[in-house]
Structure 1
Amino acid sequence: MLRATAVQYADELVRYLRATPGAERVEAAGSLRRCRETVGDLDIVATAAKGAMLVERFTSYPGAAEVLARGSTRASIRLKSGLLVDLRVVPERSYGAALHYLTGSKAHNIAIRQRGQERGLKINEYGVYRGKRWIAGRTEHEVYGAVGLPWIPPELRENRGEIEAAERGELPQLVSLEEIRGDLQTHTTDSDGRDSLDAMAAAAETMGYEYLAVTDHSPAVRVAGGLDAAGFRRQWKRIDKLNASLRGLTLLKGVEVDIHADGTLDLDDRTLAGFDIVVASIHSHFDLPEKRQTERLLRAIRHPAVQILGHPTGRMIGRRAPMAFDVDAVLAACAEEGVALEVNAQPQRLDLDDIMVRRAIEAGVQLVIGSDAHSTAELLFMRWGVDQARRGWATRRNVLNTLPLKDLLRKLRPRR
């Protein structure tokens, strides 16, 4: 199940359990808490004055289709959606240890337990022990502190170097949703969006954004009703008029220009020069041979108008595999040309994935997190993109749309 869908089920269930008399702390753990893009099941950790009462309420949840197991401090249910949920009620002193244990990942936990063993400690879901004596476990900070480490954010707990980074004091200060100042990929009813330019601007202003790039499609994406050059010029006039009335928000004239199979762009250079933001994306011919796909991407990246490569691998989670191309060559070209890579926040895309986010950062490539919103409601998808960027170790400095507008426009690749 896509994480964005699983979060809806988890949030509703957690709210329900927190309303139980005597419930103290209730939190979703597992892969959901680590912000993995798909979720197999839900793990919920709780403390309560009367654990049996919380278990009773859990197994009576209106959204449950079946009770799979039930004890005095733990139970399992299957939701009507098919999602499996496990509840664990633990003593207050074990809450941090249980939350850490059930958050995972398995590889991360094994490495932490090994580190504990080297210090004469045993670590499990009930706490940290020296021999038979409990010494820590009320909080995750206590668990990590017992093995000489600072707290490690859940998004990083994949045993991909986070423990070593923590030991060196080099954990990244991960980018946060609050640091995002604007959205650089959105669509309106001028192409395939479901809300008008005015409505999108009003929603972005309400969200407190400093800027919003309107990036409707170019003509090649026929199913999206893409605009031609004349259509964009008409839109620019409306953007100018709206900007004159907006207070805290600036609308940017943008485009999501299609990359043809040969790497050329779907609009003429004169038109492209008139945009504030040019996002170049692939929407067809995903199955080209690796060499041709690489050449296609490199040609687009080297076009002087292109500033951002949109949903760069073209994947759709569970529906379409990433395109085959030379990742190192594309990253090197982006770094050389100053082209940013998008972390597309649509829940079924999350493109780049977390591994590619980290590779891009290590290659010196800047990132942009774009909601790719096709409605005012989808502007809130930004949170999923931020979570994905965090899993890839991204900090504020790696993400261009954490910058104020003036700095953003200066930092984006200047058109030659």
Structure 2
Amino acid sequence: VIAQGKTKSSIVSDKGINVDIRVIVKDEFPSAINYFTGSKEHNIRLRQIAKEKGYKLNEYGLWKNENRIKLRDEKELYKYLGMKYIEPEMREDMGEIELAISEKLPELVGISDVKGVVHVHTNYSDGKNSIEENIRFAKEKGYEYIVISDHSKAAYYANGVDEERIRKQWKEIDELNRMVKGIKIYKGIECDIMQDGSPDIDVSVLKDMDVVIGAIHSNLGMSEEAATKRMLSAINTGMFDIIAHPTGRLLQRREGYKLDHEKFRQTVTERGIVIEINSQPERLDYDWREVIKGKREGCKFVISVDAHAVNQIDYLRYGVGIARKGWLERNDVINCMSVNEFDKLIRKFKERRNNGR
């Protein structure tokens, strides 16, 4: 305990995180939760709008002529201000208030909308669990399909698979698809994007894959120009369906490489490539600010787990949080598709890879 008072205490958790605990009286709660959720920019705009309508708004309530208006919840607060309720993730004063006033807010994606698990590592590379253990876990969680995507051979430090081991894995997946009902297993790979943008796995093998996830894992200190050239070259090979963790960042450890995001998003949209939102807590990459821009520009996304153990499939909720903060709706996210819809998308992926464009 750092500090303690009648209505507020400050503590440090056993993991070193500072936490403020506040006790709020019932009548103050709707405005207090709104205020402390923020952001600061969103709060300022709400106070301005309240003032224009003859109210005063602060963390203690919404006031009219020195009388506090009794609010049931946050939704009623927004109603008094002449707008639809704004989900907490969107509150950044980045256009959400205007959309709320005009009643054009997006219907944000939720975790129950996600039908398939994408980007799963097994003990073929650096995952802890077998293919079967992963698919049975995913099936128990109610998912319709799963994309197995072990590291490719360039990721030698992660026991990356070569062409021979890939074919061995395919045989196991075929057998499991026959044996395990109620979930479909797709053959995928997290394929390294080399310095010149080429894949590190033979094209003849990639053409038979269901899903090819491209990722940069080397030379992360390159310039923005070099990174952009490498990324665009990779996209233009026609061999990649999804671009994983597009900046390579590791939160609180590594910033990631610079990228011309506008060129990147324009190219993936033109080529029908999907941008990953990586649910790993240390990644959460693509950044939510870029996701908002991508949605406006017509990009498609996948909320992937990048799981290296079965329990990490549950990391999906973190990626969904980033997707919601990026204003994404169900139709923006490919693994919100049913298994039948996803099958059709896989056929398009394969067609592009086999045509080379």
TM-score, length of structure 2 as denominator length = 0.95
Query: Is 1:277 matched up with 2:219?
Result: no
Aligned to 2:154: 220
Provide the alpha-carbon RMSD of the alignment.
1.2
Question: How far does residue 312 in structure 1 lie from its aligned partner after superposition?
Answer: 0.8
Would you say the 8 A contact 2:124–2:150 is kept in 1? Answer: yes
Residue in 2 that maps onto 1:120: 54
SS class of match (2:20): strand
- Give the conservation status (yes or no) of the 8 Å contact 1:92–1:138: no
- Of residues 123, 127, 137 in structure 2, which corresponds to 1:193? 127
Q: Specify which of 253, 260, 273 is matched with residue 319 of structure 1.
A: 253
Match of 1:256 among 183, 190, 193: 190
User: Greater CA deviation, 137-146 or 226-235?
Assistant: 137-146
AA matched with 2:95:
G
What is the distance in 2 between the residues matched to 1:158 and 1:246?
A: 45
Q: How does 1:68-83 map to 2 (within 5 A)?
A: 68-71=3-6, 73-83=7-17
**Aligned position for 2:86:** 152
- Structure 1 residues 317-326 or 370-379, which shifts more? 317-326
User: 1:392 matched to which residue of 2?
Assistant: 326
| CA distance in structure 2 between the partners assigned to 1:97 and 1:291 by the alignment | 47
Separation of aligned partners in 1, 2:177 and 2:282: 32
CA distance in 1, matches of 2:324, 2:132: 32
- What SS does structure 1 have at the residue aligned with 2:198? coil
Shift of 1:87: 2.0
Matches of 2:156 and 2:224 in 1, distance apart?
A: 26
Q: 2:71 corresponds to which residue?
A: 137
Spell out structure 1 runs of 4+ moving beyond 6 A. Answer: none
SS of 1:274's partner is coil
CA distance in 2: counterparts of 1:325 and 1:228, whole angstroms:
29
Q: Does 1:335 align with 2:269?
A: yes
Per-residue CA deviation, residues 309-338 of structure 1 (Å, 9 max, x unaligned), is 011111111111131222111111101110
Matched residues in 2 for 1:328 and 1:113: separation? 34
Moved more, 298-307 or 394-403: 298-307
Residue type at the aligned position of 1:69: Q
Aligned-partner residue type, residue 34 of structure 2: H
- For the residue of structure 1 that corresponds to 2:62, the secondary structure is strand
AA aligned to 1:404 is S
Contact 1:354 1:388 in 2 (8 A): yes
Count of residues paired in the alignment: 350
Letter of the 2:66 partner, please give it.
K
1:52-71 equivalent positions in 2, closer than 5 A: 66-71=1-6
CA contact (8 A) 1:129 1:136 kept: no
Partner residue of 2:284? 350
Distance 1:262 1:385 in 2: 30
Q: Which secondary structure state, in structure 2, belongs to the residue aligned with residue 252 of structure 1?
A: strand
In percent, how many aligned pairs have the same letter? 38
1:67 Cα deviation from its structure 2 partner: 4.1
Stretches of structure 2 that go unaligned for 5 or more consecutive residues are none
- Specify the alignment match of 1:89 in structure 2: 23
What runs of 5+ residues in structure 1 fail to find an aligned partner? 1-65
Amino acid corresponding to residue 189 of structure 2 in structure 1: V
C-alpha displacement of 1:288: 1.6
Are the equivalent residues in 1 in contact too, given 2:304–2:319 (CA < 8 A)?
yes
Instruction: Confirm whether residue 289 of structure 1 aligns to residue 207 of structure 2.
Output: no
Alignment match, 2:344: 410
Match for residue 301 of structure 1 among 207, 231, 235: 235
8 Å CA contact 2:242–2:276 kept in 1: the answer is yes
CA contact (8 A) 2:83 2:102 kept: no
Provide the rounded CA distance (Å) in 2 between the counterparts of 1:115 and 1:199: 54
